[in-house]
Structure 1
């Protein structure tokens, strides 16, 4: 009996062992639990009399009760409420370790689903007022983890909505710590893709106007920071498959282009140069098609009223007395809102001009903001002053070449998004810097010329426009506000010719043939005109052409005929991968084939319109595009000698090519003098030194006297 009594006493005092036994068999150890529960009640009463002191016994009993709470739900029904009441009553005066013990006990109860998340979060936000940094960090981490676990299997929309409303109320609270914690929780949940919906984003937008600078800056940084999107698009193996498919499409398009474009080649060198240009164009076009559209800042796309937000931020920026870094963040957010949502905020551009000076701190970032705020729907009258400000303040000879290059780069990035703000006289003046002595300035000026060759060549001087191509000739130049919508696929006119199967091993026979939808057997109600057109098509397609010959035939057509044929093809059949490869080939050929009025079109006097090709400009402007200054490094002597010696390899020996008739013949006196010691030639070198003016006078006088003497 004595031994058993001793074991029972050990069992009672060893709470972890009792906890393990209760979890295995709660009914058998109910009496021991009741005994510990009564000890907990008595200890709690004693603790409340002096809550500022840490009670180790109460700490152990709290952990024990929280661990076995699911085993005795009736006995511990009021246990969570007792802990919450204790924290609400003595939160500010509790010992930090004791307060942390109560909080961890509540977290254990919440993990066992014995406490609602809303009630616990309300309590935790009240505890944020305590001056305890470790506690705040623990509370924030638990709220994020708890909401993540609630949405692990499926999103609980009802509970999420309730918690989001509570977070919104806390964000508007006067207590700065509670508002900052609420914002941090939502930001972390958004980055973890748990609360990445529009409601969360629009709640965060309210923090951009908070009176506390730290909260405002955190919210603005969220919108101007990078989005953590997966590069593989959410699929592990899909990314590799898409990459292989794009490679196959590129190879097919390249093969078709190489076979197709062999027209008007006069020399072998010109042929190789032009073919390489075609290959580069096909690769670039294929890359643009297969590149995933990356929403750089998807949170900005979820804002309900971006115009109102941009206007409020602008009013706040005008009256802002914060640090310059905070002003830059606000400018950045406004510019991105304007560029992404294509807003109209005319007062923003004059504000940017105040900071567009070379001596301004972080001026390159302001240049980026000016370029980001320029989209194709901004009137030219609003952008022209910005362009002239950049040209007058940066692209001048009184500043260094680096400043001039950055100014030209900023103008290029702005005009890439809206070229209508560039006046022709200013563009022609800036184009003159292409011959500047500094490489960075000349490169920046040339890049501006190349941009306007695609956007609007008529603004350039005649010598800078470049040779017109077939692709530019068949497109119409767009004016400001004009939308050029096509009802066909450019280049599909090549499919109106029957092309023979040039490589049967690599291409499918079905892909090379016709896939007609408007078949006469299916549509029996066609008119005689339709039948005549079909017969004409069959007659034209009886003779199979090579891809090279088909491209030649396409080049003979006018722009109107190409559009008509392409529209007929697109509306009458489905296109295969081989068809798209042929279209890519003919488009590449149009890009490099110079436009000329052939015999068929000379009488029509077709007007030459230069294409305004839309470039793929991203939503954002990288800072490196403005700071991209070409600077050639200075080489040391060893590097220069290495370059010189490398250039001599494989070259004929420098010197007289005639050489000696007899290699054993003696050298001349001049050659012998080169090998002599300096002291031996010193007297001769001395006579060749530069003479003074007086010596020249005397020599000239003696020479004249001598000539006069001989004449007499």
Structure 2
């Protein structure tokens, strides 16, 4: 019985290709005769197919799939099979039935996965197939090319093969066939984003597509270099690092406050603490912006100056849509800002678009700010700055336009403050008392910027109280670069402290234990006590005091630093930097010292008493300028405006105002309830016919009736004369 079943199964093998395929993979030698029989059938089907290649031959489709599955089992018999399928596909690619074309492509992909076909030959064939009018096939081929190259470089990068494929992609990108060029560009862009081909050769090959005559190819290349907005990319990064940043900020605040050593809570100390927190938060934000360096494709361009000049000449003669022109301007401005290029003709071109009625004018403002860097001569940027001030910051436009103009000026000056003049800046700062909040905050943010960059340009009343950190800085002129051989704030390490009190506080003590601030006057008793204990200790010590190194408390060390001049601090910081390696604790002390310098007021003499209450200056937290490589669009469009409430919120507000009132409003009661009614109350009860003449008198008269009345009045006057 079993022999009968086996015999029947063997008779069904020629027509059951999946079953035969499974058996051959298990034992190729035992089923070689059946395989040869099927191979002869394949050769006969190929002859039939060559006579009419447009027909969908299902038998050939199944046979090609079967042979591609078992090709590795009989290499001597199927060594030419990949070339045979490739020839058929290449010869009849445009006339093949879509199902047959897809069948041949899948068979070649299967052979490539088994390393029976070289990737270069397969990709060359696939790029030729892109000329077919088959959208599904083109998408399928592109996906396979990307996946194949990614798998090749999965374990280790194959430099030789990558070079061959990149050269082929470069040839395809320069080909006349638009679909093949666009697909090759998409493949390289996707491989770059997948970090497979993220080298300079790929980037510079893609840069050649920016000058393609095909608009789609040019736009795709521009989008690759421009990339996504920082608002979309930066959100996740900020949320991921928020916990670590908060912890580092908390430690710096703790070290700063404990270095100032305070015990008593007063309003003055709470204000001082608030300022310390604001200073530390701002310094941490600047540090985070510098650390998060965006190593984008623009940094890998070989010759950015030539690329920017070619793009500018292309932009001058461009007849594309306005959106394409904006993308080209964006790329040029990023090249200029990142690589600090000099392209003087770009600024007059941007100036032509700086008008309030211009479409997408806020983006043009962003491009103008991105193209500014410290090496641009002020004579080139001053016309742009003056255009922004004349066309936007004027009373003839709305407050929103004025706020955006001031924001654009702030962003441009944040990158090149040398183009601002004192007369223009002092005129712009007058808007700090404007009735509109957006204009007011934009003007105050401009004041805050120049307080740090060049306070001499401001009015004396807007410069604010000088701090120790500001006294250390020296104003730079255009083209000047100050090189230092020390780390600012490292002079605190020259004074040895007893146990680093600011960093040793445990978290269990609570925030109130390290968040209290007091004056020097509040801690005099503690200072005297510490001095007496120190004196007793020195008197009882038998060793030589001169040979010992003096130990300070955190507060005393900070006091000693504040007594030094700027040159003395630089000298001490340089000596410390050359004599030791810095640890994390050392950097924490340096950060705390720099934060204290921002809070501590500057006095010329250390013995002189501190000055009185500091003038209340503009809010520093509003509208801070970004100094990164890119200018976020929200920094230009940042307008402080009262948010419009929806109907539910308005009705809730109305209902809240009616609390404690009667249903139909407030009725003013009489002082004397028995008094008579007024004339207005009597009118309400009279008949309308009695009031008709009074109502008619209040109606508007026509021009003709006025003429008649005037004529009668003049005649009456003449009569009585």
The 2-side partners of 1:99 and 1:411 are apart by: 60
Q: Deviations over 1:450-487 (max 9, x none)?
A: 11111111111111111111111122111111112221
**What are the residue-to-residue correspondences of 1:363-374 with 2, within 5 Å?**
363-374=361-372
The 1-side partners of 2:669 and 2:316 are apart by: 84
Equivalent pair of 2:625/2:635 in contact (CA under 8 Å): no
Secondary structure at the counterpart of residue 155 of structure 2: coil
State which of 372, 392, 395 in structure 1 corresponds to 2:393.
395
C-alpha distance 542-297 of structure 1, shift in aligned 2 (>3 A) = closer
C-alpha distance 641-567 of structure 1, shift in aligned 2 (>3 A) = farther
Q: Does 1:206 align with 2:208?
A: yes
Using the size of structure 1 for normalisation, the TM-score is: 0.81
State which of 136, 142, 147 in structure 1 corresponds to 2:149.
147
State which of 573, 577, 596 in structure 1 corresponds to 2:580.
573
State which of 456, 476, 479 in structure 2 corresponds to 1:478.
476
**Long gaps (5+) in structure 2:** 507-543, 610-623, 661-667, 684-721
State which of 328, 331, 336 in structure 2 corresponds to 1:338.
336
Partner of 1:592: 599
C-alpha distance 351-297 of structure 1, shift in aligned 2 (>3 A) = farther
Partner of 2:253: 254
Partner of 1:113: 115
Q: Does 1:174 align with 2:176?
A: yes
The 2-side partners of 1:406 and 1:494 are apart by: 43
Q: Does 1:32 align with 2:30?
A: no
Q: Deviations over 1:530-589 (max 9, x none)?
A: xxxxxxx98497553322222222222211111112222222233333333322222222
- Note the C-alpha offset of 1:297: 5.6
- Note the C-alpha offset of 1:193: 1.0
**What are the residue-to-residue correspondences of 1:376-525 with 2, within 5 Å?**
376-501=374-499, 503=501, 506=504
Equivalent pair of 2:414/2:626 in contact (CA under 8 Å): no
The 1-side partners of 2:677 and 2:450 are apart by: 65
C-alpha distance 447-585 of structure 1, shift in aligned 2 (>3 A) = same
Q: Does 1:673 align with 2:683?
A: no
Q: Deviations over 1:242-296 (max 9, x none)?
A: 8777655444322221122369x99932221012211222233245435673343
Aligned-residue CA RMSD (Å): 3.2
State which of 279, 288, 292 in structure 2 corresponds to 1:281.
279
Q: Does 1:76 align with 2:86?
A: no
Q: Does 1:296 align with 2:303?
A: no
The 2-side partners of 1:583 and 1:362 are apart by: 45
The 1-side partners of 2:655 and 2:583 are apart by: 54
Q: Deviations over 1:134-166 (max 9, x none)?
A: 111111111111111111111111000000000
Using the size of structure 2 for normalisation, the TM-score is: 0.80
Partner of 1:322: 320
State which of 220, 223, 230 in structure 1 corresponds to 2:222.
220
State which of 634, 638, 645 in structure 2 corresponds to 1:628.
638
- Note the C-alpha offset of 1:686: 9.0
Equivalent pair of 1:349/1:370 in contact (CA under 8 Å): yes
Partner of 1:563: 570
The 2-side partners of 1:290 and 1:579 are apart by: 19
Partner of 1:549: 556
**Long gaps (5+) in structure 1:** 509-536, 603-613, 649-670, 688-712
Secondary structure at the counterpart of residue 670 of structure 2: helix
Equivalent pair of 2:252/2:592 in contact (CA under 8 Å): yes
Equivalent pair of 1:371/1:414 in contact (CA under 8 Å): yes
The 2-side partners of 1:140 and 1:634 are apart by: 48
**More divergent stretch after superposition (162-171 vs 592-601):** 592-601
Equivalent pair of 1:257/1:279 in contact (CA under 8 Å): no
Q: Deviations over 1:30-63 (max 9, x none)?
A: 0000000000100110111010111000000000
Partner of 1:582: 589
The 1-side partners of 2:453 and 2:177 are apart by: 54
Equivalent pair of 2:207/2:221 in contact (CA under 8 Å): yes
The 1-side partners of 2:353 and 2:680 are apart by: 68
Equivalent pair of 1:227/1:297 in contact (CA under 8 Å): no
The 2-side partners of 1:72 and 1:117 are apart by: 21
**More divergent stretch after superposition (415-424 vs 554-563):** 554-563
> Which structure has the higher relative contact order (CA within 8 Å, separation 6+)?
2
Equivalent pair of 1:497/1:540 in contact (CA under 8 Å): no
Q: Deviations over 1:619-650 (max 9, x none)?
A: 0011111000000236676665799899x9xx
C-alpha distance 62-292 of structure 1, shift in aligned 2 (>3 A) = farther
The 1-side partners of 2:626 and 2:581 are apart by: 27
Equivalent pair of 1:70/1:112 in contact (CA under 8 Å): yes
Q: Deviations over 1:589-620 (max 9, x none)?
A: 21122212216799xxxxxxxxxxx9861100
The 2-side partners of 1:402 and 1:504 are apart by: 46
Secondary structure at the counterpart of residue 140 of structure 2: helix
The 2-side partners of 1:500 and 1:643 are apart by: 59
The 2-side partners of 1:272 and 1:630 are apart by: 28
The 1-side partners of 2:190 and 2:599 are apart by: 51
C-alpha distance 93-675 of structure 1, shift in aligned 2 (>3 A) = farther
Partner of 2:134: 132
**What are the residue-to-residue correspondences of 1:604-643 with 2, within 5 Å?**
617-633=627-643
Secondary structure at the counterpart of residue 318 of structure 2: coil
Secondary structure at the counterpart of residue 678 of structure 2: helix
- How many equivalent pairs are there? 618
C-alpha distance 114-32 of structure 1, shift in aligned 2 (>3 A) = same
Partner of 1:610: none
The 2-side partners of 1:543 and 1:641 are apart by: 69
